[in-house]
Amino acid sequence: MASRTLAGLALFALTVLPMSAAQVNAQATMSPSPPTPGPYGSPVPRGTGPAALPSPISSLPPASQPLTLPYPAYGTPVPGVNRGIPAAGIPQIVTLDQAIAIGFARSPLLAQARATIVIDTAPVDLAKTAVLPNIAGTASTAHDYTQNAQDGSQTRSTGNTNVAANSLSVALKQLIFDGGKVAAELRAAKATQAGSIATYKRQLQTVAYNIANLYYAALAAQRTTQVANETVKLNQVNADLVSAQIQAGTTARSDLLTAELPVAQARVALVKDQGAELSAQAAFVNAMGIDANTYVLPADDGNVLAGSSGAPQVAVPTYAVAIARAYMLRPDFSAQQLAISSTQASLKAARLGLFPNLNGSGSYGTASTDPNGGTFRNSGSIGLTLSIPIFDQGITHAQVEQAQGQLDAAVAQLETAREGIQLNVKQTLVSLVSAGATFDQTQAELANAREVLQATQAQYAAGVTTLPLLLNAEVGLTQALVDQVNAVYALRQAEAAFLFAEGANAPA
């Protein structure tokens, strides 16, 4: 038994170390030792089998070079259900910056926000009218005709009367003092307008974040499909390895069914991942404001399994630094503060509803003075009018109550926004730290899984391990690949979410 073990270890060493073609041929001609039962009932091959396979799935093609597999890869393709069709003026492969630029140009959310700014600009212009002079010009012409009078049967002939009158005048009215009501209304309107602009900036950041999040989700889905496709190939290689052992008479034929089961399972996973990829791509395209059936793919560097794609791109600050930056940068927080300013000004304007108003007026004109509409004479006037409201049926009181309620609501909304930002920053900061640590661990996991599978393949070929252990190594590598892909793009998504929480993911 000791000699068999030494022979197996020697063969294992030969399969692990690099071999020349002559050495491989020499090993292939060695007479095999009789197989002995393994721990799971299958015979453990002794001394025959192919040389060690290279480290499996060391790289993937760039995500911008999609697989040429039909959809579904196994089954009946449905015409028209695929990655979509190219659109004029839209690149088929876009970087994240290009995708965000397209979203800014086409997003209906931003169009709606811009319309809101226009709507909220109108009250500013209306409020300005109260402090500007009101000038009105008047021109009139009239022709009066009176028929001669009759008195019973006797007619008094006084002659018909024809009088023409012409006039031209201009009047000026100017608010002089109202206690500051109009100025308060103007401040309220300007604060509301500035709040709309801040909301628009946050919409820009929202669109940028949504696109970035779906950009990386689409990349993750593409990578997952690639991993699934490579897993099918890997499982098929191992099934072929078992088949070679069967042909050499060193393992049971029943092991082939066991080895082919992971191949079938990998094909099922591939079809599912293809569907998830197409769905993620459609969501990414839709976020840019484009038809979901448009062929557009996110660009990537293609080094996701090498680890370079997962290098952190955002420095991790302390919570105190992050929250201070969020209060300063978040446009939606500024919008809430502006809402308070607007309601404070509106409350002041409402309270001045019963304040006396002083208005100045003046007019100048010329009018005809003879019956023929001629002989013009000039006239003019200038004066002041003081209006003192005494009782307005409680309208001002109701307006003050309404404005006070709106102010209280705005203050509460600001505190709600503050607490929401605190939670948002805390959660995204924790997620960012976790995503970075997870990525570091998945790199070690992937490296270990590659070595385990390579060694297990060599051991199986040398006859010093069993088929179940080989299949377990396959599963371990597949899981490590999926974990690595998910970790890379989860880190990118965590970075995008943290920048969005801080208000730093798009120009403010």
pLDDT attached to residue 6: 34
How many structural domains compose the chain?
2
In a domain, 368, yes or no: yes
460 in a domain, yes or no? no
| Last residue of one domain, picked from the residues 390, 411, 433 | 390
Residue 5 lies in a domain: yes
Asked if the structure places residue 154 within a domain, the reply is: yes
Residue 249: per-residue pLDDT: 80
Tokens of 295: 């062929």
CB 445 within 8 A of CB 484: yes
pLDDT tens-digit profile of 331-372?
Answer: 999 999 999 999 999 999 999 999 999 999 999 999 988 888
Per-residue model confidence (pLDDT) at position 28? 35
pLDDT of residue 464: 85
Model confidence over 433-466: pLDDT tens digits?
A: 999 999 889 888 988 988 898 888 888 888 888 8
In a domain, 156, yes or no: yes
> Is 250 a member of any domain?
no
Residue scoring higher pLDDT (482 or 275)? 275
Q: Is residue 68 part of a domain?
A: no
Q: Is the pLDDT of residue 209 over 90?
A: yes
CATH number of domain containing 165: 2.20.200
Higher pLDDT, 416 or 81: 416
Q: What is the pLDDT of residues 245-298, one digit of tens each?
A: 888 887 778 788 888 888 999 999 999 999 999 999 999 999 999 999 999 999
| AA letter at 273 | D
This prediction has a pTM of: 0.76
- In a domain, residue 437? The reply is no
Average pLDDT, the chain: 82
pLDDT surpassing 90 at residue 417: yes
Domain that holds residue 141: 134-177+358-390
Q: Which of 390, 408, 433 is the last residue of a domain?
A: 390
